[in-house]
Amino acid sequence: MAADLNAFITEETIEGDGEGPLADTTVAVKDNISTAGVRTTCGSEMLADYVPPYSATVVERLTDAGATVVGKTNMDEFGMGTTTETSAFGPTRNPADPERVPGGSSGGSAAAVAAGEADVALGSDTGGSVRCPAAFCGVVGIKPTYGLVSRYGLVAYANSLEQIGPIAGTVEEAAEALSVIAGPDPNDGTTRDPAAVEGAGVPQGGYAAAADGDVDGLTVGVPTELFEGADERVVETVEDAIACLEDRGAETVEISLPSVEHAVQAYYVIATGEASSNLARFDGVRYGHRADSDGNWNESFAETREAFGAEVKRRILLGTYALSAGYHDKYYEKAQDAREWVRRDFEDAFDDVDVIASPTMPVLPFELGEGLEDPLRMYLADANTTPVNLANLPAISVPAGEADGLPVGLQLVGPKFGEATVIRAASAVE
């Protein structure tokens, strides 16, 4: 293992059961996804010694399909970040350039796959955390439709936005892992059977069968708003990848998604609001760190939160403020209105196009250290990924090529449960 990348927090094996479609496949699991008997830290001092008594549904499904889990990957603390630098376990380095970040928050997962330390990895994507590191590390990442993959056993950051998704070296491998983890779960009431959704088009033989490169007749929408403000080198590389789709028979049309200019702002109000409520459970009573406090219960709870890092504390404060009486209408409800507008913009766009293409990230991978100095700049880098979570849609990041020797990702977004279409389009770019 390339220990210097720091892709793993814990290297421990969970053997797969026998023969399934993923026999001989190694899987790295983001450290906010529960693994029975193997510590699950969420990249936080708060859970540094926490060992879950049960495994997430996705982990059960992978091992049942024969895969071997090889370890738990580094991540931004509780998924809060875009660089993997907010981890309490030190940053992960980008295999393409070790002086740069691998993206986040599932940076360890993408770095492990890019460096050949695992065949497939799981990440979670609340506002881009599978797609961003896939783009920065030059691998493939799928953020499924909300409700396609069970969140049972995922330590919650923002429940209404997040999905677990696979990261792999090729579209086909990522699609195969998606087929294994997808589908209804009685332990997560928000999951749905895609086969029961009209127009979902789950291919016979699973999602990997869709990775056939056949985009003849496909209409690709190119939204001007998701190219504005992006680094020119990123735009050029992504435009070349889109031209590749045209060469293979796809038609491109320019479209407009006017609401997306409000997406990052709406996302950070909603995500931090949900996080402030979710993280209240870390009070030192049931699990995790407990401060050595002489105070009453209130003081003890407060002191226990010393185990949260600066970014997590910032977000709890932001979220608590946005949800508080008197400010709820001004921030949280406005953000919900913006979310609805984004959702409708996408829905209207999909009346005319099959997939929507853009850069995954508007920037090239940051240098190590850049991000910690300027949180607002990091938040703005989520401009193209967060609209997809607000609208609960499926998306993939596929390598578009390189700029200045650094990987650039093409994002392809589909209508709800349109995974097969984005997988098909992405396979035509490889």
Contact code string over 357-376 relative to ligand GLN, x by CB under 6 A: --------------------
Nearer to ligand GLN, 71 or 79 (CB): 79
Nearer to ligand GLN, 301 or 366 (CB): 366
Given a contact cutoff of 8 angstroms between Cβ atoms, the answer to whether 16 and 22 are in contact is yes
The minimum distance between CB 76 and ligand GLN, in angstroms, equals 7
Q: Restricting to residues 240-279, which ones interact with ligand GLN according to CB under 6 A?
A: 271
Nearer to ligand GLN, 268 or 301 (CB): 268
Question: Which residue among 34, 44, 87, 105 is the active-site one?
Answer: 105
Instruction: Give me the helices (H) in 161-296, please.
Output: 171-181, 232-247, 263-278
Q: Given candidates 25, 129, 145, 170, which one binds ligand GLN under the rule CB under 6 A? A: 129
Beta bridge partners of 164: 124
- Count of chain residues binding ligand GLN (CB under 6 A): 14
Given a contact cutoff of 8 angstroms between Cβ atoms, the answer to whether 136 and 411 are in contact is no
Q: Which residue is nearest to ligand GLN (CB)?
A: 129
Cα 337 to Cα 343: distance, rounded to the nearest angstrom: 10
Nearer to ligand GLN, 218 or 335 (CB): 335
Cα 130 to Cα 389: distance, rounded to the nearest angstrom: 11
Cα 398 to Cα 136: distance, rounded to the nearest angstrom: 10
Contact code string over 304-333 relative to ligand GLN, x by CB under 6 A: ------------------------------
Nearer to ligand GLN, 157 or 301 (CB): 157
* Residue 87 binds to ligand GLN (criterion: CB under 6 A): no
Cα 88 to Cα 45: distance, rounded to the nearest angstrom: 6
Q: Given candidates 52, 91, 108, 128, which one binds ligand GLN under the rule CB under 6 A? A: 128
Nearer to ligand GLN, 211 or 395 (CB): 395
Which is nearest to 55 in space by CA: 106, 122, 5? Answer: 122
Cα 154 to Cα 42: distance, rounded to the nearest angstrom: 10
Taking only Cα atoms into account, the Rg of the chain, rounded to an integer number of angstroms, comes to: 20
Contact code string over 63-82 relative to ligand GLN, x by CB under 6 A: ----------------xxxx
* Residue 126 binds to ligand GLN (criterion: CB under 6 A): yes
Which is nearest to 387 in space by CA: 270, 276, 254? Answer: 270
Please confirm, yes or no, whether 106 is among the known catalytic residues.
Answer: no
CA angle 102, 124, 313 (to 5 degrees): 80
Helical pair 57-64 and 171-181, crossing angle rounded to 10 deg: 110
The minimum distance between CB 237 and ligand GLN, in angstroms, equals 22
First-residue to last-residue Cα distance in the chain: 27
**Residue keyed to tokens 């090889």:** 70
The minimum distance between CB 184 and ligand GLN, in angstroms, equals 23
The minimum distance between CB 386 and ligand GLN, in angstroms, equals 7
- Residue 157 phi/psi, 5° resolution? -105, -65
Contact code string over 151-190 relative to ligand GLN, x by CB under 6 A: ------x---------------------------------
Q: Given candidates 16, 43, 127, 319, which one binds ligand GLN under the rule CB under 6 A? A: 127
- Residue 100 phi/psi, 5° resolution? -120, 160
Nearer to ligand GLN, 44 or 427 (CB): 44
The minimum distance between CB 126 and ligand GLN, in angstroms, equals 3
Stretch that binds ligand GLN, among 35-43, 119-127, 219-227, 231-239 (CB under 6 A): 119-127
Please confirm, yes or no, whether 129 is among the known catalytic residues.
Answer: yes
Which is nearest to 142 in space by CA: 353, 381, 388, 352? Answer: 388
Please confirm, yes or no, whether 313 is among the known catalytic residues.
Answer: no
Tokens of 342: 């984004």
* Residue 103 binds to ligand GLN (criterion: CB under 6 A): no
**Dihedral of alpha carbons 184, 188, 191, 192, sign:** positive
CB count, 10 Å around CB of 251? 14
Strand, helix or coil at 194?
A: helix
> Catalytic residues, which ones?
30, 105, 129
Binding site for ligand GLN (CB under 6 A): 79-82, 105, 124-129, 157, 271, 382
